[in-house]
């Protein structure tokens, strides 16, 4: 009888078996590698996390509302022409992002100045300004982030010195504030127009004159007002005298033309008005040209 042999596996089954064996060997190799190097892997992850935390500020730069950033690359072209808006931005550790405040900012100061007559005056001022939002890269190239100390403050102080130096202490004390501020802005704005800086306004918050000088100016102004008051009263009296002179000439002309004295004319006019009333009365007319009427109350 013929002897039967077991069927040999097919080529597909052999390939599948070998693949499964390779997968098992690979998983075993990975598990063995992890088991053998798990401390090194853990230490490497820990060091990487530490370095990321340590250098986070050198890699990530947040920009808040009202801020713009200028990117400077150490190896790829220096200052970039594009503007970084508010948000979170990434950079290389050796590059820089300079932050600019584009909202209106304020700067204040107090400086002693000399008037035209040599009096020292302490001037306190405040100015509002901002960089031109469309020209921040240009501002970064020509002035940098401390442009306020380089341009804004010196130009304002220079303009104030020029204006204060052309006025006496009394002129400053009595000068119109708005007119003085307009002069300051007219001097400062053309100077700042050469740079990407926008000046909103300049205000003088305080002017301190020497105490004795201030008292002297006040006393002088009071005397001046008194003199003006005397002049006004003198002119009023002169006007009243002129009015009375004109009135006297008119009366003289009236008496000359009518032949009736002013006293008699007024007495007749008063008598006429009294006679119109409804009360009982007796009027005795005087005799002669100079006689005046006499009124008697008949009710008593």
User: Which DSSP string do the residues of 134-179 spell out, in sequence order?
Assistant: T-HHHHHHHT-TTHIIIIIHHHHHHHHHHHHHTS-HHHHHHS-HHH
- Confidence (pTM): 0.57
The more confident residue out of 130 and 213 is 130
Query: pLDDT tens for residues 156-176?
Result: 998 888 888 888 777 776 777
Domain 105-209, CATH number (from 2.40.50.140, 2.60.40.1180, 3.40.190.10, 3.30.479.30): 3.30.479.30
Q: What is the mean pLDDT of residues 238-255?
A: 78
Average pLDDT for 92-120: 88
Going from N- to C-terminal start, the domains of the chain cover 19-54, 58-101, 105-209, 260-300
The percentage of the chain sitting over the pLDDT mark of 70, rounded to a whole number, equals 66
Q: Which of 41, 59, 161 is nearest to 112 (CA)?
A: 161
pLDDT for the residue numbered 5: 47
């Amino acid at each position: 009888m013929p002897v039967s042999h077991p069927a040999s596996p097919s080529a597909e089954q052999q390939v599948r078996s070998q693949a499964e064996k390779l997968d098992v060997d690979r998983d075993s190799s990975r598990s063995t590698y992890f088991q053998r190097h798990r401390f090194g892997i853990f230490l490497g992850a820990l060091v990487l996390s530490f370095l990321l935390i340590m250098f986070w500020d050198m890699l990530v730069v947040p920009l808040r509302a009202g801020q713009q950033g200028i990117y400077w690359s150490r190896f790829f072209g220096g200052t970039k022409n594009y503007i970084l808006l508010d948000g979170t931005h990434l950079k290389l550790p050796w590059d820089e992002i300079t932050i600019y405040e584009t909202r209106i900012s304020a700067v204040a100061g107090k400086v002693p100045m000399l008037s035209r007559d040599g009096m020292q005056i302490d001037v306190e001022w405040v100015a509002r300004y901002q960089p031109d939002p469309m020209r921040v890269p240009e501002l970064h190239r020509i002035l940098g982030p401390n442009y306020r100390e380089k341009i804004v403050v010196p130009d304002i102080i220079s303009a104030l010195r020029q204006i204060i130096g052309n006025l006496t202490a009394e002129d400053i004390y009595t000068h119109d504030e708005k007119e003085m501020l307009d002069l300051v802005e007219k001097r400062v704005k053309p100077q700042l127009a050469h740079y990407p800086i926008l000046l909103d306004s300049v205000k003088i918050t305080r002017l301190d004159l020497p105490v004795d000088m201030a008292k002297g100016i006040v006393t002088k102004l009071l005397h001046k007002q008194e003199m003006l008051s005397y002049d006004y009263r003198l002119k009023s009296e002169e006007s009243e005298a002129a009015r009375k002179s004109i009135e006297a000439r008119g009366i003289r002309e009236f008496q000359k033309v009518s032949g009736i004295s002013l006293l008699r004319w007024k007495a007749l006019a008063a008598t006429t008005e009294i006679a119109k009333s409804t009360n009982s009365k007796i009027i005795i007319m005087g005799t002669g040209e100079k006689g005046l009427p006499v009124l008697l109350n008949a009710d008593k």
